[in-house]
Structure 1
Amino acid sequence: MDSTLPSPNPALLVPPSMPLYDSIRGSIFAPSPTVLITTILVIFLTPIFLHFIVFHSRSPISLPTFLLVGPAASGKTSLMTSFESEPGQPPVETRTSQTPHSLECFVPASIARTSEYRSAHDPSLKAHKRFLLLDTPGHGKLRHIALTRISSTTIRGVIFVLDSSLTDVRVVAEYLYDVLLTLQSSATSTTTQSKKLLVACNKSDAFTALPPSKIQKLLEDEITKMRVSRSKGILDVEDDGEGNDEKEWLGEGGEGPFTFQSMEEVGVEIEFKGGSVENGEWRNCLSPWIGSCL
């Protein structure tokens, strides 16, 4: 029996993958300029691409907004800028505006409604709650801007600013009537919490200024007259067979003397406050009310 084994083929001793391995190793340690440039671009552009995908795909965060409405020259813009001025400093000089403009403000988190049940040692109470004050034009032809924004989901409260001298109660009452109708319609069409309105009786330091309680009574009497006249117009339209628009009835049924307290039955909470921009009172007066809405 022949015990001699056949000699192995030298070609079989070289792994078939060696040329490919040498090629890959050569590409890694001695890359071509094209490969080098492509790698550098991928390294630097990938984070930028991910940044645009992650951050720009998110919807912008909307701050809670408080709408400033009221007749022209009532002091809305001055009231807004009082939040911008440091306490004790004179208010920023303003002029009649024809377009809405906003200002980002803040109140201490400790006075916010959401912090009511937090511990006094909660670190979050040391922060601030941010919000926007949105000033709207008071001219009669531009009031639709404010009325169309009242129903927005970002609106947490409406601040109706008037001159405490109340030289033309009917003009003020007409605008306030339309604001109340819009708030009533918004409150009854949603199941969210009540709509909040603050009537800010500005320039209370003037010699002819009336106290908020007197202003409230004068406005209630004037709105009662307006509600009767407008209700009569609605009834006349109904008699003509064109139907009755319930949105035009302010309050429950639209009958009897009007009171601001009765608006709570339709989901609108109203509060009166007096103050003056010149004395720097509004920042301290409004902050607790704004905090209760946040």
Structure 2
Amino acid sequence: MVFQLSNTVLLSLLLVLISTALLLIVQKNTTNVIPGHKITNRDPTFIIAGPSGSGKTSLFNVLTTDTVKPTVMSQTPNVAEDYMLPSTVKSFKFKLIEFPGHVKLRYRLFDTLKESTALKGLIFVVDSTIDPQKLADTAEFLYDILALTERFPEGVDIMIACNKSESFSSRPPLKIRDALEKEIGKVIERKAKSLSAVNKSGETIGESGSDDASAASLNFQGIRDFNFDALDGNVDAIEGSVLKNQIEKWECWIDERSVN
């Protein structure tokens, strides 16, 4: 009887240990998952995004081939499955994906953000020669990205890669960052008013408004003066130039995120 009881206890302990191990594995694989979305990309991944004409594809080419090539507007994402880190930890490999900036093709970026578990960082490329007063569309694009990345438990680090910094008309990174903050604040205010108007009218938010509603009620609700520092993910604005192959600061940023 004692022998049988001991076997029963041992079996119970073994089942508990197996269940605990399985739970830890599941938790490890879902720590960076947006709840409610299927998972199609579990690879450690860096993403390049931004408005059309900012230099995204050229940056992808420099990072993957170390050459600047003439480019045309991308229609499909560019993917490097085994991207080697640019400078320091050569033994690590990652997936590097560059997405088209056209409004009608941005859904591919948003789908990937929803369906990835190991996003290491997102490089948001902007043209630093643009007038800060004309960043409204760029800011709304970045807002849409933040509305997704901030749903991850610890957010996603984002670098605003201020390209074309060699130009005489380029703006300092901090000025671009500040301008984007102000414009995102306006986007939040507009969406909050729109959501409030819908709620007051008694209408049910359908499919077309579901993303705006969830984004407006996420971490942005009630924010009067939007500030990147309040986000879970870090947002850095760093100057550089793809044309002049002056991307060392961007490479260092990628390296730092790869080991975290």
1:75 corresponds to which residue? 55
Aligned partner letter, 2:84: F
The one of 98, 105, 112 aligned to 1:142 = 105
Q: Deviations over 1:51-109 (max 9, x none)?
A: xxxxxxxxxx96421111111010001011111344xxx51222111101112421278
- Residues 258, 85 of structure 1: CA spacing in aligned structure 2 closer, same or farther, 3 A cutoff? same
Residues paired across the two proteins, number: 207
Q: Helix, strand or coil: the match of 2:219?
A: coil
Deviation at 1:241, TM superposition (A): 3.1
Residue ranges of structure 2 left out of the alignment (5+ in a row):
1-40, 206-212
Residue ranges of structure 1 left out of the alignment (5+ in a row):
1-60, 112-126
2:83 corresponds to which residue? 105
2:145 corresponds to which residue? 179
1:293 corresponds to which residue? 257
Deviation at 1:202, TM superposition (A): 0.8
Higher CA-based Rg: 1
Deviating 4+ runs (over 6 angstroms) = none
Deviation at 1:203, TM superposition (A): 0.9
Deviation at 1:291, TM superposition (A): 2.1
With structure 2 as the length reference, what TM-score do the two structures score? 0.72
- Residues 140, 194 of structure 1: CA spacing in aligned structure 2 closer, same or farther, 3 A cutoff? closer
Q: Percent identity?
A: 32
| Equivalent pair of 2:43/2:94 in contact (CA under 8 Å) | yes
1:239 aligns with 2:200: yes
Aligned partner letter, 2:244: N
Q: Deviations over 1:186-218 (max 9, x none)?
A: x2xxx4x44111111111111221010010111
- Residues 146, 134 of structure 1: CA spacing in aligned structure 2 closer, same or farther, 3 A cutoff? same
With structure 1 as the length reference, what TM-score do the two structures score? 0.64
- Residues 200, 82 of structure 1: CA spacing in aligned structure 2 closer, same or farther, 3 A cutoff? same
- Residues 92, 273 of structure 1: CA spacing in aligned structure 2 closer, same or farther, 3 A cutoff? same
1:279 aligns with 2:244: yes
Aligned partner letter, 1:281: Q
Q: Deviations over 1:16-62 (max 9, x none)?
A: xxxxxxxxxxxxxxxxxxxxxxxxxxxxxxxxxxxxxxxxxxxxx96
Instruction: Give the root-mean-square deviation of aligned CA atoms.
Output: 2.3
